[in-house]
Amino acid sequence: MTENRWPDLWQRLLSALVLAGLGITAVILGGLPFAAFIAALTGVMVWELARIATGNAGYAFGLAIVSGLLLFFEPGGYRIALTVLILGIPLIISMLATDHKLQVGLFAVMVAASGFVMEILRFDLGLVWVLWLVLVVIATDVAGYFAGRTFGGPKFWPSISPQKTWSGVIAGWIAAALVGVIFDGGSLGVLAVLSMLVSFASQMGDIAESSVKRRFAVKDSSNLIPGHGGFLDRFDAMIAATLLLGVLNLILPDGLHFFDMAWQ
């Protein structure tokens, strides 16, 4: 009997289309709808991580609500909200975690900070940069899924993510580079290279989340998304990709404008 390589394809595809539609709509609208979407998404991911790490649904729910409210309303100004969000919330989750406290705390910082950085990217850099980021991550994921299932081959990091193959990883880099070429007006230049770096960061985000789940012996971060598990399972790649862009935007002389995207 032939092995079915695509047992969850249609369920995954439908869920991915719905999520992509909601996310891209929020990105295009910007303003309060985008802020609300990011705040809600961050809150849900904090809930999933806290529930996995602490085993206490009540603590997890409370931390999720606080995280979402901090990100949306920024009480006391963004510096205070940011400090509580990326230091206070992760510290609490780490302290309440039943094991692997340092790893949990560091991943919680990534989750919380990514929401704040995503808002900065949208409000400071504009629509095109965020659309490019989203499409790079989607292209990486889609190309990696189909190439990995089609070609198989050696595993990328079998002890942490046994399903991820080198063929899928490399296909993700190529697909991301193509997105960069399109957004750079057909030029195979530095934006294509940046796209590949972001692609690799997104893959490392997936590895980071897989490592946390493996530490706590769970398969999915939750069962909220049919075919995908939880929101952390779906957006782990976006977390790391967003943080990489935030760092580059901070340290480069002209921020991300250093790359001079043609579609601006």
The pLDDT score that the predictor gives to residue 226 is 74
Question: What is the distance between the alpha carbons of residues 239 and 232, in angstroms, rounded to a whole number?
Answer: 9
Query: pLDDT (tens digit, 9 = 90+) per residue, 215-231?
Result: 999 988 998 887 678 99
Cβ atoms 156, 165 nearer than 8 A = yes
| Most confident residue range from 82-96, 121-135, 195-209 | 195-209
| Most confident residue range from 137-146, 191-200, 251-260 | 191-200
27 CB-side CA count, 13 A: 21
Q: Hey, what are 195's tokens?
A: 């796209």
In sequence order, the 6+-apart residues with CB closer than 8 A to the CB of 86 are: 109, 112, 113, 116
Q: Is 155 helix (H, G, I), strand (E, B) or coil?
A: strand
Q: Is 30 helix (H, G, I), strand (E, B) or coil?
A: coil
Where exactly are the structural domains of the chain?
9-259
Q: At what angle do helices 101-120 and 57-73 cross, to 10 degrees?
A: 30
61 CB-side CA count, 13 A: 3
